[in-house]
Homo-oligomer: A and B are copies of this chain.
Amino acid sequence: MALIVQKYGGTSVGNPERIKNVAARVARCRQEGHKLVVVVSAMSGVTDSLIKLAKELMPLPNEREMDMLLATGEQTTIALTAIALHALNVPAISLTGAQAGIVTDGVHTKAKIKNITPKKVHALLDEGQVVIVAGFQGQTMEGQITTLGRGGSDLTAIALAAALKADLCQIYTDVDGVYTADPRLVPGARKLSEISYDEMLELASLGAKVMQSRSVEFAKKFGVVFEVRSSMNENPGTLVKEETRSMEDVVIRGVSLDKNQAKVTVVGVPDRPGTAARIFKALGDAAVNVDMIVQNVSHAAASPCTDLSFTVDKPDLLKAHKVIDSLKSEVAFREVTADENISKLSIVGVGMRSHSGVAAKMFDVLAKNGVNIEMISTSEIKISVVIELAKGETALRAIHEAFHA
């Protein structure tokens, strides 16, 4: 008999039929003798309609009140899920984040979990109840309702699993698990049976969209092993856990392509201390999210200047361009260019630490396929290159094949 924390996202509980499916799955798992804590999100669409209602009243509503408002979404789902379980004769009880003992700081709409007191959850589990907990929400020490921000329900599940010392945490979603590459782009992509936290983090930051980095970081910090799997079928998913020696035998865990980035190059930047800081502070103030940054050595010894390139999300390109333009007299660069026709191709794997020549092999494969590399950025377990947008998918498939990812 294991203690399992399961989390079901908004699509999995999107209507009464789907809530019944979730209840049936939970009932089967309980039948096998497990103790179960089930974390659910708001039904898909509910959070967006609540936000729309609030914005009809005020463009930038108060964040404390937004938390009061949005917390109702998950509270609705927990009650409905408990009722669906009762319909299957499974004893079940719903708890809000506050009732489940989830204490957060007071930063409304993006609160951090400070601690969890799982006494009540334990007591209810001991009574034989399936405990349904509202994801995404908590309460401050002073009794204020808070929400955890994007990906908050995953975080609730993983934090509860840590606090309860659960044997397993299952994140049910609308994909089957983590793949070596996007199966829609790479026909030979395989589902991974396991992946390390660090690899998962790199994939998350590369736009793999399975989970927010935040929850993976939390799981890593507290050593929570979790499985990403689909609520629509019975296939085993991908286990995310601490790196093991055998993981290093595989050089590359996955290959990813991000077509949603654009490149900005500031040409002829005077090579003075503080220049880069000035540029990226201005971008940060304008809430432009910068991903890759590449700066090369200076050209001329007399009046040293350099080119500075970075990538931003495509929708932010215009804003980024304007911000840089506004700095022209202050920073005294020569010109700024922008390029939307790029994509970012990345390979990820803890194995590359112990295998030399991974970068060389990647660049060689790209060259043989006539793909020019415009920017390169590396971490210990990742290599990313910026290439022409039109060649992105061909390059992705070639790299995936070359590394037998």
Contact = CB atoms under 8 A, between A and B. Distances in A.
Contacts of A376: none
A99 B57 contact: no
Contacts of A87: 57-58
A86 B65 CA distance: 10
Contacts of A64: 93
B72 A75 contact: yes
A78 interface: yes
A224 interface: no
A139 to B, nearest CB: 10
A86 B56 CA distance: 13
A57 B19 contact: yes
A68 interface: yes
A38 interface: no
A242 to B, nearest CB: 37
B86 A62 contact: yes
Nearest to A144: B99
A84 interface: yes
A84 B62 CA distance: 10
Contacts of A53: 16, 76, 80
Interface string A40-78: 000000000010011011100110111011011001101
A82 interface: yes
B75 A58 contact: no
A20 interface: yes
A94 interface: yes
Contact of A83 (B19, B61, B71, B80): B61
Contacts of A78: 68
Contacts of A86: 58, 61-62, 65
A143 interface: yes
Contacts of A19: 57
A20 B58 CA distance: 10
A80 B53 CA distance: 8
A66 B79 contact: yes
Contact of A82 (B62, B93, B96): B62
Contacts of A16: 53, 56-57
Contact of A72 (B62, B76, B99): B76
28 contacts: A16-B56, A20-B57, A53-B76, A53-B80, A54-B79, A57-B83, A57-B87, A58-B83, A58-B84, A58-B86, A58-B87, A61-B86, A62-B86, A65-B79, A65-B83, A65-B93, A66-B79, A68-B75, A68-B79, A68-B82, A69-B75, A69-B76, A69-B80, A71-B75, A72-B72, A72-B75, A72-B76, A99-B143
